[in-house]
């Protein structure tokens, strides 16, 4: 049962709810919010009540929203109204401070979708204060509720800095792979059905959808390939996790088609593997997203490939194959 929250605290919680979604919100804003939440358990209760009501208001249609307003904040409150004080206060605060904002911007509903274009990125702040940096050509969906927090990564890459909350697990689903946060910062990259999870701080638990699971801590990565019977654990430099945020794509003994697919998320003129034999080649190294053409010029010195310009794409072929006529 939700405990009653004093109206002044609900006012502050509603103010934080709006500040976290403002265009000029920063990491400092999140840090200040976390300090406020940690001062008193009732602060988190207040924030969750405000967020829950905000979701109802934002996801409702105009008619339903009007009905909620009429229900929670009647023009005249007579003896027959028996509305919980906390609900009334939260509704009044949100209506006073943020209903126009909700109507204008469309605050997160039960499931919010985010997408970035080729070469683009987004910074997302979820309702619980967790931060998600979304890489290029990435699509994901997020839901933050009272019982749990979940993200579905459909394609691409994202870096998560999670606000720990033992009462609400944070779970990322990437194809068959399930990543459960244990209070941490981690990166998830999905290339088709292949998934790589790299941990910068804390720990995660990774399940492969086949009954297997592994834990990884800072300085470790877990790689899932449906073609292999078990997940692979790698040692990494935690300082280099999510290097794409600094314009650097890092690869460690990864199949060339996987490398190409990830580079294509940052290149308007796509690369194409034009020879099935190249699938057996692997690449280790870094590629600057602002110097992909330079990498292509040096690639034949590293791998037995030939690079040629094709119609609307740059094609990689085996160096042993006869040149096209």
Flag whether pLDDT at 93 surpasses 90: no
Which range of 89-98, 164-173, 193-202 scores highest in mean pLDDT? It is 193-202
Residue 163 per-residue DSSP state: P
Percent of the chain at pLDDT above 70?
77
Domain of residue 166, residue span: 112-240
Q: Note the pLDDT of residue 95.
A: 53
- Is the Cβ–Cβ distance between 159 and 185 less than 8 Å? yes
Residue 266 domain-assigned (yes or no)? yes
**What is the rounded distance in angstroms from the CA atom of residue 19 to the CA atom of residue 97?**
11
**What is the rounded distance in angstroms from the CA atom of residue 15 to the CA atom of residue 38?**
17
Token pair listed for 193: 């059905």
Q: Do 127 and 224 fall into the same domain?
A: yes
pLDDT tens track for 312-323: 789 999 987 555
Q: Do 124 and 209 fall into the same domain?
A: yes
**What is the rounded distance in angstroms from the CA atom of residue 164 to the CA atom of residue 170?**
8
Q: Do 262 and 291 fall into the same domain?
A: yes
Token pair listed for 145: 């509720």
pLDDT-based confidence at residue 301 (cuts at 50, 70, 90): very high
Q: What backbone phi and psi angles, to 5 degrees, belong to 136?
A: -70, 150
Range of lowest pLDDT (99-113, 178-192, 218-232, 249-263):
99-113
Q: Note the pLDDT of residue 90.
A: 52
Token pair listed for 101: 């904002």
Residue 227 domain-assigned (yes or no)? yes
Flag whether pLDDT at 303 surpasses 90: yes
Q: What is the mean pLDDT of residues 154-178?
A: 92
Q: Note the pLDDT of residue 103.
A: 41
pLDDT tens track for 35-68: 787 777 788 777 777 776 765 655 555 545 455 4
Q: Do 12 and 91 fall into the same domain?
A: yes
Q: Note the pLDDT of residue 139.
A: 95
**Runs of H (alpha helix) within 60-130:** 62-72, 85-97, 99-105
Helix (H, G, I), strand (E, B) or coil at 165: coil
Task: List Cβ neighbours of 251 (8 Å cut-off, separation of 6 or more).
Answer: 258, 259, 262, 283, 284, 285, 286, 287
Flag whether pLDDT at 131 surpasses 80: yes
Q: Do 38 and 96 fall into the same domain?
A: yes
Return the closest-CA partner of residue 2 out of 39, 74, 51: 51
Q: Select the more confidently predicted residue: 149 or 23.
A: 149
Task: List Cβ neighbours of 281 (8 Å cut-off, separation of 6 or more).
Answer: 255, 256, 303, 304, 305
pLDDT-based confidence at residue 27 (cuts at 50, 70, 90): low
Q: pTM score, two decimals?
A: 0.66
Strands 313-318 and 271-273: parallel
Burial label, 25 (beta-carbon count in 10 A; 0-12, 13-18, 19+): middle
Residue 200 per-residue DSSP state: E
Domain end marker among 240, 264, 288: 240
Q: What is the mean pLDDT of residues 224-252?
A: 95
Residue 322 per-residue DSSP state: P
Q: Note the pLDDT of residue 25.
A: 64
Q: What is the mean pLDDT of residues 252-265?
A: 96
Give the count of domains, the chain: 3
Q: Note the pLDDT of residue 69.
A: 47
Domain end marker among 71, 105, 139: 105
pLDDT tens track for 214-226: 999 999 999 999 9
pLDDT-based confidence at residue 82 (cuts at 50, 70, 90): very low
Q: Do 92 and 138 fall into the same domain?
A: no
The CATH number of residue 281's host domain is 3.55.50.30
Percent of the chain at pLDDT above 90?
51
Rg of the chain over all Cα atoms, to the nearest angstrom: 24
Maximum alpha-carbon separation in the chain:
89
Q: Note the pLDDT of residue 114.
A: 93
In whole numbers, what is the pLDDT of the chain averaged over residues?
Answer: 81
């Amino acid at each position: 049962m939700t405990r009653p929250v004093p109206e002044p605290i609900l006012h502050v919680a509603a103010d934080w709810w709006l500040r976290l979604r403002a265009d000029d919100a920063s990491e400092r804003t999140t840090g200040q919010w976390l300090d406020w939440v940690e001062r008193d358990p009732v602060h988190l209760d207040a924030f969750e009540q405000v967020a829950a009501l905000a979701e109802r208001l934002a996801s409702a249609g105009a008619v339903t929203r009007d009905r909620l307003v009429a229900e929670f904040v009647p023009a005249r409150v007579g003896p027959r109204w028996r509305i919980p004080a906390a609900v009334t206060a939260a509704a009044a605060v949100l209506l006073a401070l943020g209903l126009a904002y909700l109507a204008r911007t469309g605050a997160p509903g039960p499931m919010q979708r985010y997408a970035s274009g080729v070469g683009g990125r987004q910074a997302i702040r979820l309702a619980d204060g967790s931060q998600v940096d979304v890489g290029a050509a990435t699509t994901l969906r997020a839901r933050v509720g009272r019982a749990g927090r979940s993200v579905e990564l459909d394609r691409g890459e994202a870096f998560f800095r999670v606000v720990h909350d033992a009462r609400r697990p944070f779970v990322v689903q990437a194809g068959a792979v399930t990543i459960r946060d244990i209070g941490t910062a981690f990166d998830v990259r999905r290339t088709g059905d292949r998934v790589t999870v790299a941990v910068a701080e804390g720990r995660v638990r990774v399940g492969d959808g086949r009954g297997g699971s592994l834990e990884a801590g800072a300085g470790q990565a877990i790689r899932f390939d449906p073609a292999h019977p078990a997940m692979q654990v790698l040692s990494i430099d935690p300082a280099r996790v999510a290097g794409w945020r600094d314009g650097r794509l890092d690869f460690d003994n990864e199949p060339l088609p996987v490398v190409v697919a990830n580079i294509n998320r940052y290149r308007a003129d796509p690369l194409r593997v034009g020879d099935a034999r190249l699938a057996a080649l692997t690449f280790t190294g870094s590629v600057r997203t602002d110097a992909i053409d330079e990498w292509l010029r040096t690639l034949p010195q590293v791998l037995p490939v030939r690079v040629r310009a094709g119609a609307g794409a740059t094609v990689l072929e085996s160096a042993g194959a006869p040149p096209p006529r």
